Amino acid sequence: MKKLVVFDLDGTLAESKSAIDEEMSNLLYSLLTVARVAIISGGAWPQFQQQVLGKLPGVKGLERLSILPTCGTQFYEYNGGQWRKLYAEDFTPAEKKKITDALETVVTQLGYKAPQLWGAPIEDRGSQITFSALGQEAPLEEKKKWDPDFAKRQKMKALLNDMIPEFSVSLGGTTSVDITKPGIDKAYGIRKLRDILIIPIAEMLFAGDAIFPGGNDYPALQAGADCIRVRDPQETKCVIETIVNCYKV
């Protein structure tokens, strides 16, 4: 059996920007009793607090849970009754401006400026800049309609790769484009888990909804982790149930 089970967040454990439901909360809590668990996402730390940590039924076993916001450019562990940040690899002000300018240029060039926004479309997450086409607080149903096949964001990625080749561009969530430092993606997060937890990548299992070329979960596969592509949180629940049952046998 694998020693570490790693999950994406949006589209895998929960709907985009939504909290995990009670069933998922209980399943994750059960999984923590039999294995180490980690969650890697493009979201910032407050998103993990709102979507996952604040919804768990208790704190027992949280020492076995690792949280990696912004695609692994930050790492949190539960120690001494509180969450502690081990590292954060933030952009410089000049890097942030270059990325933001490139995003604004590409959005204008492709005609992707939304007629209505729910919050800011570009979010500074410290170690990651994220573009959300309809704004950070857009309703899920609106977001699902904007780019269901990732085609719009694939065009953005192609242009951004040419404009800012010194950075890593990946697609995540339902309307998002994530930009990190070069080589900083979920493969980086997987390697950080290996180094900090002293667990070989071969002993990890990763589950995510964007395990395809260009998807922000794909680097986990490239890093050598065994992967399961899920369609949505309901399918993830089946995966967790299966894992827990296998550990109990």
CA–CA distances in Å: residue 132 to residues 93, 146, 151, 189, 223: 20, 11, 15, 22, 27
pLDDT score recorded for residue 215: 82
pLDDT: which is higher, 181 or 195 = 195
Enumerate the known binding-site residues for Mg(2+).
8, 10, 209
**Which member of 10, 147, 185, 217 is catalytic?**
10
CA distance 124 to 84: 21
The pTM of this model reads: 0.80
Contacts of 108 (CB under 8 A, 6+ apart): none
Q: Is 227 helix (H, G, I), strand (E, B) or coil?
A: strand
Q: Which two tokens stand for residue 121?
A: 């479309």
pLDDT: which is higher, 209 or 89 = 209
CA angle 60, 63, 65 (to 5 degrees): 100
**75 closest CA partner among 236, 207, 176, 188:** 188
Contacts of 155 (CB under 8 A, 6+ apart): 110
149 is catalytic: no
Enumerate the known binding-site residues.
8, 10, 125, 176, 178, 209
Beta bridge partners of 78: 83
CA distance 51 to 17: 7
Q: Name the DSSP class of 14.
A: B
**Which member of 8, 147, 185, 217 is catalytic?**
8
HSE on the CB side for 23, CA within 13 Å?
A: 10
Enumerate the known binding-site residues for alpha-D-mannose 1-phosphate.
125, 176, 178
Beta 65-68 vs 36-40: how paired, if at all?
A: parallel
**28 closest CA partner among 197, 19, 79, 76:** 19
Helix (H), strand (E) counts: the chain: 8, 11
Reported confidence tier of residue 16, pLDDT bands at 50, 70, 90: confident
Contacts of 231 (CB under 8 A, 6+ apart): 209
Q: Are 16 and 173 in contact (CB under 8 A)?
A: yes
Strand ranges for 183-248 from DSSP E = 204-208, 226-229
101 is catalytic: no
Domains of the chain by range and CATH? 4-89+184-248 (3.40.50.1000), 93-180 (3.30.1240.20)
Q: Could you read off the pLDDT of 17-68 as tens digits, one per residue? A: 899 999 999 999 999 999 999 999 888 899 999 999 999 999 989 999 999 9
Mean pLDDT calculated for residue range 162-182:
90
